[in-house]
A and B are shown apart, each in its own frame.
Chain A
Amino acid sequence: MNKRVIWAGGVLFLIVGFSTMVNASNLNIFLEKCGSCHKEGAEAPPVEPADKAGLVWEKYFKRDRHPGNLHSSISAVELADVLTFLKNHAADSDHPVAAVIPK
């Protein structure tokens, strides 16, 4: 019984460790790459994924509507991750439901 538990724990540990390596955090990339300019008092206003629908975000970057030369500060892969994050939390995405907590 103990051996089985140890084996199961080991397998779980390996799976989690492996997936930690392959899964980058889109949130962190969004915060790092977009948050440096998009914040209160900075050169660009704060941006929320829920400002637009997922498809609208996709078109926004496809049409190169972002002011300035975005490609000089963010790679194509990073931009794809940012877009994934924006779409996952876009206005038309699934949102948590509960009695609201005011800020």
Chain B
Amino acid sequence: MKKTLLSVGVILAMATSVYAGDETVTIPLEDYRAIMNRLDALQQRVETLESSPQKTLPATEVKYDKVTKDIDHIYDSLDALETKSIKNKINFGAELRVRVDGYSGKNFNTINMTNFQNNLLTGMAPSQAMGAAMTHHDKINDPNNWTNRFRINMQAQITDSLQFHGRLAMYKNWGDSDDGTSSDLLNDFNRSHRPGSSNLWVDRAYVDWVPEGSPVPVAITIGRHPSTEGPPFELRENRLRQSTYPALLFDGENDGVVVTFGLDRYTGLKESGWRFAYGKVYHSDDDNNTGSPFPFLDDEEAADSTMAATFFETEIPGMENSLVVFSYAKIWDLPFYFSGPKLYETGMANTDVGDMEIWGVHLQASDIASSGLDLFLSYGGNKSKANGNAPMGLFGLLSSDGQSDHSGYSIYTGLRYTLPLESLNMPRVGFEYNQGSQYWFSMTMGTPDIFNKLATRGNVYDAYYIQPVNKHLFFRAGYMYVDYDYTGSGQHIGAPRESNATLENYYFLMDVRF
């Protein structure tokens, strides 16, 4: 408005002022008056505007200013959060399991290894020494065995192509103070409150690396692997798959490297991959020889046991939430003892006893046709190749003399059903059965049940009930009956003998995961 007024005034001045220039402009009186009236009117409007109180900003403008400031604050907060998030390199989770077990065993023998060694030192023949160290049990009960298992799970997305996974674990009997590291002043009551050892049990620590730019999809998994509690154990564990390998064949903490080729784009099969694995089952060093200056170096006794394996797995075509795995593995130079030369006081060195092949097929389908029913069927086979070594004439590979080769097999099947009872948080019931032959052998020393049921040379019946409370907490009650047909289940040394031993295990556990 002021600009308009000023412009008119300037024009008028230019038009009427004799002093503005050398020329004089003459306009008609009427026009002059009209201009002056217009000028007066404009002047009045300016004065009115200037005298009226200042208007406040519209409400929307105020709100806009506030939102702008809020966004600035949010950006500041996000900066802080993002910085913190980037610095938080590992995501942590935890698991706690408290379990009470009752055991009842019948018709089995135990060998006191200290007595066995002492008997050998007195000059007894090995078979005599073993017989003298052996105790037969008609029946033995332990109705009240409590354990705690605690795990810290770790995961990190290091880059788009590199992931880290880890797990630290503790697993112990309640009040367990009578192991070899305890004393009157250092035991289960104060082990975390007194200087002890630097031990920390690392269950898993590995990276998945998917190299970028590879012409074929390939992943390298290296470290201490996810090789325990594999399919179908996740059903009874009330969780998702936990291992690369089917539980019937391999279930143990394992260091190695796995190269996986993704085949989805070539085969059209979902989740299909071909894996090649290499690992060490036993490294023969000298660290249980307390007199050795280099306990971590090779003790030149048994050769290292190495394992190479290949696996093909895929989702079963047309069946969601399913899995089929074909497996083959070979282990070279299995040792007499995995734990080293226990009997070194006798002067007997550890040695390797031969090679073993293991193979199998595993089929599994979960929530079939949205029915809540999960089924699995697993088959495993093994074949030994003894190298002729037979420590003490008793402990050849799946034989006494180490002169013969043997084959074994096992089947493992079962189901789990989710009861459609929302009021009870969808509880689950399951039943499993496995049967192993006389010479069945599997690398399953790390199973969640401490009896290594899948290595059984005989029949195992296992039933359980899972009661979820929420997504983090569940209870499980179960009963397992093992009917051994042959001795030495889970052992690769010695000849399996006929057995009438049985084992009953009933338990109740609480599991919390978050």
- Chain A residues with CB under 8 Å of chain B are 15-20, 22-25, 27, 93-103
Contact = CB atoms under 8 A, between A and B. Distances in A.
Interface in B179-224: 208, 210, 217-219, 221
A99 B221 contact: yes
Contact of B260 (A16, A17, A20, A102): A102
A92 to B, nearest CB: 9
B320 A27 contact: yes
A16 B420 CA distance: 10
B488 interface: no
B244 A98 contact: yes
A58 B262 CA distance: 34
Interface of B: 163, 165, 208, 210, 217-219, 221, 225-226, 230, 234, 239-244, 258, 260-262, 264-265, 271-273, 275, 313, 320, 368-373, 417-420, 471, 513
A102 B471 CA distance: 29
A20 B273 contact: no
Contacts of A18: 420
Given A99-B258, A99-B260, A101-B271, A20 B369 contact: yes
Contact of A22 (B217, B219, B420): B420
Given A22-B420, A102-B210, A97 B369 contact: no
Contact of B272 (A27, A94, A99, A101): A101
26 contacts: A15-B417, A16-B371, A16-B372, A16-B373, A16-B417, A18-B420, A19-B371, A19-B418, A20-B370, A23-B372, A24-B370, A94-B239, A94-B240, A94-B513, A97-B240, A98-B243, A99-B219, A99-B225, A99-B244, A100-B210, A101-B272, A102-B218, A102-B219, A102-B260, A102-B262, A103-B262
A27 B239 CA distance: 18
A95 B275 contact: no
B424 to A, nearest CB: 14
Contact of B370 (A25, A95, A103): A25
A27 B240 CA distance: 17
A23 B420 contact: yes
Given A20-B370, A102-B210, A97 B420 contact: no
Contact of A101 (B273, B370, B371): B273
A25 B371 CA distance: 10
Given A98-B244, A101-B273, A103-B217, A19 B372 contact: yes
B495 to A, nearest CB: 36
A81 B16 CA distance: 85
Contacts of B208: 99-100
Looking at A16, A22, A93, A96, the one whose CB has the most chain B CB atoms below 10 A away is A96
Looking at A17, A27, A93, A100, the one whose CB has the most chain B CB atoms below 10 A away is A100
A19 B240 CA distance: 21
Contacts of B163: 100
A19 B271 CA distance: 28
Looking at A24, A95, A99, the one whose CB has the most chain B CB atoms below 10 A away is A99
Nearest to B161: A102
Given A20-B371, A99-B244, 16 more contacts: A16-B371, A16-B373, A19-B418, A19-B420, A23-B371, A94-B240, A96-B240, A96-B242, A97-B243, A98-B226, A98-B230, A99-B221, A99-B225, A100-B163, A101-B313, A103-B217
A49 to B, nearest CB: 13
B162 to A, nearest CB: 11
A100 B313 CA distance: 12
Contact of B226 (A97, A101, A102): A97
A101 B219 contact: yes
Nearest to B218: A102
B219 A95 contact: no
Nearest to A16: B371
